[in-house]
Structure 1
Amino acid sequence: MSILREIGGIYHPDKGTTFTVWAPEAELVEVVLHQPEKKTLPLQREAFGYWTGLAEDAGPGSLYTFKINKEIERPDPASHFQPEGVHQASAVVDHSGFEWTDQQWKGLPLEQLLIYELHVGTFTEEGTFEGIIHKLPELKDLGITAIELMPVAQFPGNRNWGYDGVYPFATQNSYGGPEGLKKLVNACHEQGISVVLDVVYNHMGPEGNYLNDFGPYFTDKYHTPWGNALNFDDAHSDHVRNYFFQNALMWLRDYHLDALRLDAVHAIYDTGARHFLQELREHVTQLADQQGRPYLLIAESDLSDVRLINPIEQGGYGLDAQWFDDYHHTIHTLVTGEVEGYYEDYGKPEQLQKALEKTFVYDGLYSEHRKKTLGTDASANPPQQFVVGSQNHDQVGNRMLGERLPQLVSFEMLKAVAGLVLLSPYVPMLFMGEEYAEEHPFLYFVSHTDPDLVEAVRKGRREEFSAFAWKGEAPDPQSEETFQQSKLQWSYHSNEQQNKLREFYKELIQLRKTAPALAKPSKQQMQVHMEDESLVLHLIHKSKEPYLYCLFNLSKQPQRVQLLTTEKDANWQPILHSADRAWGGPGIEQQEALQGQAEINLPAASVLVLQHQQ
C-alpha cells in the first residue's frame, strides 16, 4: 500500500496553514494569498514534484490561489471550498472547528440500510443541506435508515446533477459549503440515519477543470465518453491516485460520512498489479482501524463483475457492495413493456426469478445490446452486497422527459413494484419522492457559462436518446425552468392517494425491519418461482421462522394462484395486501388463513404477503 502525501491548504490551529500542491513539471510555484492584503509566498520543491510552504497568517476563510511559473494563476486542485465558484480563489477550511455530537455513532451494517437517494438542489425548495435537515423527521417517519447524496463536490454554477464536479475536495457553495454538510451529517446521525456520498473518480467535468495546468492528471492511453481518462496507471499515476485516496479519506474522516458510493467504476481504467479500487479499500480500512468504526464502499458498475466485492485475499477488490441494475431493468421491462435501448436485453419473466436466485442475469451470457458476453456468477455472494431500486437518478433522469414510474404504470402497480424492492433479499434504495408517487419529473440540468459547452451538452443529450422510441423534445438542460420542474412538491400532505401510497411504503419498510425472515435474508434460504404466463411471482423467505410468503401479480388481470408449499398442514396468514382500501386499493375479500396448497385470487397488479403460522 502506497504512502500518502497530504495536499491542499491544511490549517493547523497552532501554526497557520500549510499549502501543498503537486506540479511535477513546474519550474516555480507560489501561493498567492488574497487577504487581508494580497501577497505571494514562494513554495519549496520537494520529491516527486510536490511544492509546499507554511503561511503563518493564513487561517480559516483565507482566500488563495497557486501561481505556476509566474504565468498561470489557478485555484487549488485540492481546494476544500470555492466560495465564489470554480474559476475564483480557494478558501482555507478549518476541519477541527466543528462541534460534532455524534461521538457514539458507529454507522449501520449493510443489511440494516434502507437507502434514500436524493439530489440536494431539488429535494427541497431551498435546495440546501439545511433544507434536508428540516425534512429528516419525514424520512425518519418513513423508516429510512440511510440517505445517499448525489455528488456535492463543487461544480460550475448553481444547477447540476453533480457529475460535472471539478473540485472533488470542495463542498458545493450553493448547497451550504463544508459547514452545511457537516451540520447535515451530524443531524442525520442524531436521528440514527447513515449518510452515503456519491463520489466521482472516473472523470472530471469540463468547466473549471484546470488540472492539466498542474500535472499529468489525465492519460491518452484510454478514452472515455468525457475525453481522456484519469491517469491511474500511466507515468506519474502514483500522485493522481494519492489525490483521490486523500479525497475519499477526507470525506470519511473530516465529514464523518458513513459510506461512499463510487460512480461508474467501470470507467476507472487501471491495469496495474494493485487496482486503484483495491488500494482505496486498503486505505479506507486503515482509517477505519484508526477511527474505531467501519466505513462502507459501494460501487456502481455495469460489468456484473463480482471481483469488485470479493475479498482481496480471493483476488477481489474488497468493496462492500455494488449497485445491481439487472434487478431494475428486469422489473422495469416487465411492468412498462419498454424494451428499447439498453432494455432490449431484458423483458423476459424468467429473468426476474434468476435475478432473485442467482443475482446477475448476465452471468456469462451473450448480451444482444452490447454484442458481447457479459458478467460473472454472483450466486455465492450474500444479498447484502447488492443495492437495488425501481427508480434512481440515472434511470429516471436519463429518460428524455425525466418521467418517474407513476407516469408509466398504474397506481396499483407502483405498490407491487415497491414490494419487489422492499421484500427482496437485497439492500433496498428508494429515489426521492418515489414513496408518494411524486409527479414532477427529474430532468437533466446544468448551469454552464461557456455557450459552446452548453450547446455540446444539448447535442449530447439528443444523441443519447436516439436508441429509444421516446417522442417529444428534450427540455433544455441549461434552462432554470428545467431545474425548477425537477424539484419535489411534497404533495402527499394534501393528496389522499399519495398519502396512502406513502403509508403503504411505511408498512413495507416496517415489515422489512421487524420480520425475522427478513432480518438477514439469504438467497439459499428462499424459494422463488415465476409463472411466465400469468406473471405471478412466488417469493418465500425461509431464513428464520415465521416464514414469509410474498405473492406478486405483475399482470394487468386478476390471477388464480395455487400456493407452492408441499406441507399439507401449512397455515399461512395474510398480513399485508396492496389491494386493501387502506392503501388506496380497490378493496379485497375477507382474507382467511390459507392451508397447504390452497388456491387464492390475486387482483391485477398486486402484492400479497402471508406469514407462516405454527
Structure 2
Amino acid sequence: MHKFGVWAPKAQKMSLCWREQVLAMNGPNHRGWWTLEVQEATCGDRYAFLLDDDSTPYPDPRSLRQPEGVHGLSEIYSHGGFEWHDQLWRGSPKTGAIIYELHIGTFSTEGTFDGAIPHLKYLADLGITHVEVMPVAAWAGKQGWGYDSVSLFATHEHYGGPDGFKRFVDACHATGLSVILDVVYNHFGPVGNYTGKFGPYLNENRKTPWGDAVNLDQEGSDEVRRFFVDNAIMWLKDYHCDGLRFDAVHAFLDLSAVHFMEQLSTEVERLGATVGKEFYLIAESDLNDPRVVRPREANGYGMDAQWSDDFHHALIAVLYSPKEGESGYYSDFGTIADLHKSLKHAYVYDGQYSGHRKRRHGRPTDGLSAHHFIHFDQNHDQVGNRGWGERFEHLVGTDAAKLSIGIVLLAPYTPMLFMGEEWASSTPFLYFADHEDEEMRRLVAEGRKNEFAAFGFGGDVPNPEHEKTFLDSKLKWDEQEEGNHGDFLAWTKALIKLRRSHVCFNDGDTHHLHVFSDERARTLVMEREEARVVVNFGDQPFAFALLEGEQLELASRAEVSVREGYLDVPPMTLAVLLSTSEQFENRQVEARARA
C-alpha cells in the first residue's frame, strides 16, 4: 500500500496516473492537499499526476526518485530499504573542523557516488573532518554543478541515485568523515521545474539573479516553506547527512516575522534532539550580517557558520592584481590592512561605504567566535566563475599559492579546501551544463560568455554545454606525487598536522589573536599564544625579529633561515614559529611586569 499526496491548492480536480490507470484523488483539504491510498501500489511503481483538464502527466514535486530524469514519471521509493552501518556515528565536532568541498561528477574518473568512495580514506588521512558535497538533487541533463536542481527530493540518477548517495554517506562515516550537503532553496533550475503547475512555489514579482524568487512570505508560503524544511529534514534524517550548506541565503526574500532561516534552524535542532545528534548548518551569505550566525535567543537566525567572502576577497586581492575591468567586487579590496581586519573581525565591511556596492555594507561581528566563519582561498564559485576555470595556483604561481593555503589553514577560523587544491591540481574547474534544448544550450553559452565579459574576461571561453568542458574539469589523481604537486601536497599535510596538534589554531578565540601588518613592507604577523605566523607578501626579503625561545617550525620555502636573533624570510613566503608553553607564559609574565 502507498499513500499518494500532492499540494495543489488551486486545482479543481486531481488524478493519479499509475500502472496505466487514471484514478481520481480526494481533496483538496483545508491546506490544499490531494491524497489517495492505493493498496496494490509498491516500491518501483511509476506514477505521475494530472491537473484539472491538462492531459500532460507531471512528476511529483516531492518525488523521491526520477529514474528517467526530471521530465519523466516518478517512482515510489522507500528510505527504509537501505541497510546502514553507521548506527554509532554521531558526527565530527564542529570545533576543529577542516572542510573539503567536492563535486561528485569531477571528483573521480567515474563521476559517481561509488567512484568517490575509494578516495575517502585519502581525505581522512589528509586530516579532513567534513566533506561538503555540491548539490546532488536531480536536475535536467547529465552533467552540471547541481545549482539548477528542480526535483529536490530526488537524487541525481547519473551520480547513482538515492541508494548510491546513501552508500557514499555510509562510507564517509565508516572512514570518519562527516557529510555536509549543499542545498539550493533560493530558486529552481530553468528546465524541468513543474512546481508552478501545482502551486505558488515562486513569487513572480521578486527576482533573483537566477530567475523568480521562491515564495517565502506571500499567499501559500506556509506550504512552500514546509516543502523546503521537509527537504532539509530528509537529507539529515533519511540520508544521514551531518549538515547542510544553504546556497546564497541573501536570495531568501522573506519579510515574515519568523525568517525562513530561523525556521530551518529551529526544526533541524528539534530533529537533532530526537535522534541524538548535533547537525552543522552553514550559510552562504554576502550580506555581512552577523544575525545569520547569531543564536536565535540573541535575535539571530541560528546558523552555525557562514562562508567568509570578505576574507577570500581580501586575501586574493593582496596576492593577485586583477586586470583592467576584471576586478568586480575585488575593487573594494587590495590592502594588507583589509586582510588584517578580516583575520581579526571576519568582515572587512562591517558598516562602512563599499565602492563596489555604492552604499554602506555590513555590521560588526562583536562577540562571535571564529568558528562561525568558514575561510577559504578557493571554492567552486571563485574558480569556476573565471573564464577558464583557473585555480589560484595557475594565476599566482606556487609560492603565492603555498602562502595562501597556509593562511587559510592557520587562521583561527574554520578552513575549507576545494578539491584538488591540496596538491595544486593542474585541472581547471569550469562551468558545465547539459541541456537537451538547443535554444537553452545557446542561451547558457552566451550567458556565461557575457557574464565573464562583465568581469573583464575577453575572448572565447569554453562552451559549458560541450562534454569536453566537463571532462577537462575532472581531477587527475595520478599527478599527486609528481614534481611540484607532491611538494605542494606535503606542504598541505604539514599545515593540517600543525593545525590539529596545537589548540591555539583551533580555539576560535580572536580575542587572543594579535595581528600586526605593515603596508609598506608588505608583511603580516598572526600571533596566538605559543605560535607566530609570519608572512612576507613583498618582492624583497624581510627579517623578522625572533622572540626569546622561538623555533622555526615550518616554512613554505626552503630559503627561510635563522641568523643572530632574526628570521630571514624570502619574498612571497609564510613561516611558522613556535615556543614552548612555558616560554610563552614567561613572556606573558614579563609583559605584565613591564606594563
Q: TM-score normalised to the size of structure 2?
A: 0.95
Aligned 1:458-607 pairs, distance under 5 A:
458-542=445-529, 547-563=530-546, 570-580=548-558, 587-589=559-561, 591=562, 598-607=565-574
Aligned 1:48-447 pairs, distance under 5 A:
48-71=31-54, 72-338=56-322, 340-447=327-434
Structure 1 residue 56: deviation in Å? 2.1
Name 2:579's counterpart in structure 1. 612
Paired AA for residue 553 in structure 2: I
Paired AA for residue 141 in structure 1: D
Q: What SS does the aligned partner of 2:389 have?
A: coil
Paired AA for residue 72 in structure 2: Q
Q: What SS does the aligned partner of 2:515 have?
A: strand
Q: Say whether residues 1:29 and 2:7 are aligned partners.
A: no
Instruction: Out of 46-55 and 198-207, give the one that drifted further.
Output: 46-55
Question: Would the aligned equivalents of 1:334 and 1:348 in 2 still touch at CA under 8 Å?
Answer: yes
Instruction: Out of 424-433 and 407-416, give the one that drifted further.
Output: 407-416
Structure 1 residue 366: deviation in Å? 0.7
Instruction: Out of 249-258 and 289-298, give the one that drifted further.
Output: 289-298
Query: CA deviation digits over 1:442-491, x for unaligned, max 9?
Result: 11111011222222212221221233232331111100111111111124
Q: Which runs of 4+ in 1 moved over 4 A?
A: none
Question: Would the aligned equivalents of 2:285 and 2:306 in 1 still touch at CA under 8 Å?
Answer: yes
Q: Say whether residues 1:43 and 2:49 are aligned partners.
A: no
Question: Would the aligned equivalents of 1:438 and 1:491 in 2 still touch at CA under 8 Å?
Answer: no
Name 1:11's counterpart in structure 2. none
Paired AA for residue 21 in structure 2: K
Question: Would the aligned equivalents of 2:64 and 2:76 in 1 still touch at CA under 8 Å?
Answer: yes
Separation in 2, partners of 1:368, 1:507: 39
Paired AA for residue 351 in structure 2: G
Separation in 2, partners of 1:43, 1:99: 33
Name 1:13's counterpart in structure 2. none
Separation in 2, partners of 1:554, 1:330: 13
Paired AA for residue 365 in structure 2: A
Separation in 1, partners of 2:118, 2:468: 24
Structure 1 residue 434: deviation in Å? 0.4
Question: Would the aligned equivalents of 1:75 and 1:87 in 2 still touch at CA under 8 Å?
Answer: yes
Separation in 1, partners of 2:329, 2:207: 21
Separation in 2, partners of 1:333, 1:578: 20
Q: Which runs of 5+ in 2 are unaligned?
A: 584-595
Question: Would the aligned equivalents of 2:8 and 2:198 in 1 still touch at CA under 8 Å?
Answer: yes
Structure 1 residue 221: deviation in Å? 3.2
Paired AA for residue 536 in structure 2: N
Paired AA for residue 304 in structure 1: N
Structure 1 residue 70: deviation in Å? 4.1
Paired AA for residue 557 in structure 2: A
Paired AA for residue 170 in structure 1: A
Separation in 2, partners of 1:588, 1:314: 47
Paired AA for residue 30 in structure 2: A
Paired AA for residue 61 in structure 1: G
Separation in 1, partners of 2:193, 2:506: 46
Separation in 1, partners of 2:440, 2:525: 50
Query: CA deviation digits over 1:583-614, x for unaligned, max 9?
Result: xxxx444x47x8xxx43210111111111133
Name 1:7's counterpart in structure 2. none
Q: Which runs of 5+ in 1 are unaligned?
A: 1-15, 581-586
RMSD of Structure 2 on Structure 1 (CA): 1.4
Paired AA for residue 22 in structure 2: T
Question: Would the aligned equivalents of 2:560 and 2:569 in 1 still touch at CA under 8 Å?
Answer: no
Separation in 1, partners of 2:307, 2:209: 21
Question: Would the aligned equivalents of 2:16 and 2:23 in 1 still touch at CA under 8 Å?
Answer: yes
Paired AA for residue 273 in structure 1: A
Structure 1 residue 97: deviation in Å? 1.3
Question: Would the aligned equivalents of 2:380 and 2:429 in 1 still touch at CA under 8 Å?
Answer: yes
Structure 1 residue 330: deviation in Å? 0.7
Structure 1 residue 562: deviation in Å? 2.9
Paired AA for residue 47 in structure 1: H
Question: Would the aligned equivalents of 1:552 and 1:607 in 2 still touch at CA under 8 Å?
Answer: yes
Q: What SS does the aligned partner of 2:415 have?
A: strand
Separation in 2, partners of 1:553, 1:56: 72
Name 1:9's counterpart in structure 2. none
Separation in 2, partners of 1:435, 1:173: 29
Paired AA for residue 48 in structure 1: R
Give aligned pairs, total. 576
**Match 2:441 to one of 444, 454, 457:** 454
Separation in 1, partners of 2:450, 2:211: 17
Structure 1 residue 516: deviation in Å? 2.5
Question: Would the aligned equivalents of 1:359 and 1:379 in 2 still touch at CA under 8 Å?
Answer: no
Name 1:584's counterpart in structure 2. none
Separation in 2, partners of 1:62, 1:502: 48
Separation in 1, partners of 2:126, 2:483: 16
Query: CA deviation digits over 1:517-559, x for unaligned, max 9?
Result: 22313100111011111221100112xxxx1111111223322
Question: Would the aligned equivalents of 2:370 and 2:414 in 1 still touch at CA under 8 Å?
Answer: yes
Structure 1 residue 560: deviation in Å? 2.1
Q: TM-score normalised to the size of structure 1?
A: 0.92
Name 1:12's counterpart in structure 2. none
